[in-house]
Amino acid sequence: MKFPLLPVLVALLACAAAHAADPQPYKVELATAGNDDIDEALKATSDLNTLRKTAPVSPFGLIARARSDVDRLKTVLESFGYYESGVIVKINGVLLTEPSLGETLTASPKGNVATVNVSFTLGTLYTLRQIDIQGEAPESVDARTTLGLKSGQPAVAADVLAAGARLQSALQEQGYAFARVDPPVAYEAADAPVLDLTFQVLVGAKATIGEIHIEGLQRVHERLLRHRLLMHSGDVFRPSQIERARRDLLALNVFAQVTVQTGAEADASGGVPITFKIRERPRHAVTVNAAFSSDLGGSGGSTWTDRNVFGNAEQLTFAASVINLGGSNTTGLGYDTGIKYLRPEFLHRDQSLQFAIGALKQQLQAYNQTAKTASVTLSRKLSSVWSLSAGLASSIEQITQITSATTNPAGHLVGVPLTIDYTLAAMPITASYDSTNLPTPLDDPRHGLRGSLTVTPTLALGHPNSTFIITQLKVAAYFDLHNLLPIAPGRSVLAGRTLAGVAQGAGQLSLPPDQRFYAGGSGTIRGYAYQSVGPIFPGTAIPIGGTAITAAGLEFRQRFGTNWGAAVFADGGQTSAKLKLVPSQLQVGAGAGVRYYTPIGPIRFDVALPLNPSPGEGSLQGHFQFYIGLGQAF
């Protein structure tokens, strides 16, 4: 029987092509180069590694990818000073140069996983020998010191390029806006594994800041930005000053983006034109919030904000939350609502005025409170880390607290409630310090210090009337263990906090219950229920509160992968009549938790145990507590 030859050949070729086009699964085994930094760079650069899951390839495509990796990985080794290095790639133990490798892979059973082995020969490490600078640098810049390169150090490309960029930045900081340091020319010595470098420096004329343009404004008034700018026409051209001005405009909280464009040449007066390109944030924003802890129960609410009421970055905020949704230390639902109006740049740069009114209802084991509040606060930013605020605050509130117990006709012990109406007038003054350099409190602090000292003289009209001063000191510190150990920055952080407070001028019971100090809860001693640490009224389990508090906590935070982390912690503290540590009254809690890191902050879940809870029936402290919220505990 005869068969047409052409159709048969076409069919055979189609089958072969279809088989060759099947994806070739593979795994990659990258040998170590003996240096963690080099290994990380090799792993990140290898297409074999980074594209393995996202870009499947055919058998011949795998060979092509491996061949391209040879040059890519050799470039990485050379960038670390190994110019005599080599890269060896084998697929299933066969070198890439083997002509039959493609046919062998194609003939493999479908789904067979190929093994790609990549190994390295480093050779001799090249070092720097002679470093020359061509061109004239001004006396105000020590070019050789600024480069920071020394004869004998490894010829690492990143270090060499960074040195040139460092010198160029130093020249521009002195006002030489168009100074340029070209990438160095490297000469390999014929008789030794060394490189000689030559940097070409072009300085140019000194320049000032020329005309300043602002583009992209829609609702925000330009005069606000002009008033706030940290640079002016005629100032010496300094890139750091321009960047500082850009960041300062972003801090107004009404811009999504601020970029800077500098002119390509100076104008007739010697000034460099500067253009700020602005993109405003949406004027209105709605956010939702939720949290839960076993002692205070759940809370949830919403906030509506107008970020730019009249065009001068004024902020109007309405917030409403439901609180005390269950919880071991609550007795009913409550609410927390408020309206705030913030006027920035009030009479002075970096000075704001805020008006606030609110309504609060909370039903706790310690007391029930219903309050209407109002305040006005003047805040001033003194520097990049220091700020000061002072204000007037008033509150009209009704508080019910069980202060004694009696036996009812059935023979059961019941509490006797006492209800008092208070009118409070206060003048809080706060000095704050923050060197964490974070835009919002929800961001994860990894270094620096946060602290505040608040002094609040208060007049309370009630039964009895009282006049007192409440002083509180809060400090939190963060230390990146990268500074001590050979680990990646920001992955392992040790955080600590301390709190001290004292009320002077009134006794324990003459202070309104909400003005007393209570310990226990996520803000003081985790593991103990909210407000449960301290003296109680005789015959009850109701906390009295104290006129002094001391508390401290230590937490170790460790990140895993991209989004996950964990923490272990210990807290301790006490409430008392004096600001003095009494070891017999000190109560300690400890626990652990997990973190899931999101763009708006870490989601936190902590579980803590009381290590030395108070004995006795009716104790509110419980056996353990857990906390869920957004942001770190402190």
Centroid of chain to Cα 398: 40
Q: From CA 492, how far away is CA 565, in angstroms rounded?
A: 10
**Series of mean pLDDT values for 10-residue runs along the chain (634 residues):** 38 39 86 91 94 92 94 94 94 92 89 93 94 89 92 93 95 94 92 93 93 95 93 94 94 94 88 96 95 93 96 97 92 96 94 97 94 98 95 96 78 79 97 91 90 97 89 97 90 96 90 93 93 85 90 96 94 88 88 93 93 67 86 92
Question: Which pair of tokens denotes residue 391?
Answer: 């204000």
d(CA 263, CA 607): 57
Using DSSP's 3-state secondary structure scheme, residue 143 falls into helix
Nearest to residue 25, comparing CAs of 59, 66, 72? 59
Token digits of residue 135: 């061109």
| DSSP states along 500-541 | EEEEESS-TTTS-GGGSB-B-STTS-TTS-TT-BS-B-TTS-
pLDDT of residue 268: 83
Q: Would you state the pLDDT for residue 60?
A: 92
Among candidate residues 254, 316, 318, 252, the one with its CA nearest the CA of residue 283: 254
Partners of 458 in the β-ladder: 426, 468
Q: Are strands 284-293 and 625-630 parallel, antiparallel or unpaired?
A: antiparallel
**Per-residue pLDDT tens over the stretch 230-280:** 999 999 999 999 999 999 999 899 999 999 999 998 888 889 999 999 999
Q: Which amino acid is at 376?
A: V
Q: H or E stretch including 334?
A: strand 330-343
Q: What pLDDT sits at residue 9?
A: 35
Structure tokens that stand for 203 in this block = 């300085």
Residue 317 is predicted with a pLDDT of 98
Q: Single out the residue of 521, 517, 494 nearest to residue 506, CA to CA.
A: 517
Three-state secondary-structure class, residue 226: helix
pLDDT of residue 36: 87
Tell me the C-alpha distance between 417 and 367, whole Å: 9
CA distance to 66, 373, 490, per residue, from 396 (Å): 75, 7, 46
8-state DSSP, 613: P
pLDDT at 302: 97
Q: Give the mean pLDDT of the chain.
A: 90
Give the per-residue pLDDT at 413: 66
CA 389 to centroid of chain Cα atoms: 25
H or E element, residue 365: none
Contact 402, 418 (CB under 8 A): yes
Q: Which residue has the tokens 């300043």?
A: 212
Residue written as token pair 């270090």: 159
Nearest Cα to Cα of residue 439 among 250, 633, 224, 307 = 250
pLDDT of 619: 57
HSE-CB for 200 with a 13 A CA cutoff:
5
> Residues of 546-561 as b/e, b for ≥16 C-beta within 10 angstroms?
bbbbbbbbebebebee
With CA atoms as reference, report the closest residue to 59 among 13, 104, 11: 104
Structure letter (DSSP) for residue 179? -
CB 429 within 8 Å of CB 460: no
The beta strand positions in 481-632, using DSSP E, are 492-504, 548-560, 564-576, 587-598, 601-610, 625-630
Residue 390, C-beta contacts closer than 8 angstroms, at least 6 positions apart: 377, 378, 427, 428, 429, 430
Exposed, middle or buried, 85 (CB in 10 Å: 0-12/13-18/19+)?
A: buried
Asked whether 492 and 522 are in contact (CB, 8 A), the reply is: no
Q: How far apart are the first and last CA of the chain?
A: 87
Q: Which two tokens stand for residue 183?
A: 């990438």
| Nearby residues of 243 by Cβ (< 8 Å), 6 or more positions away | 260
**How far is Cα 475 from Cα 460, in angstroms, rounded to an integer?**
28
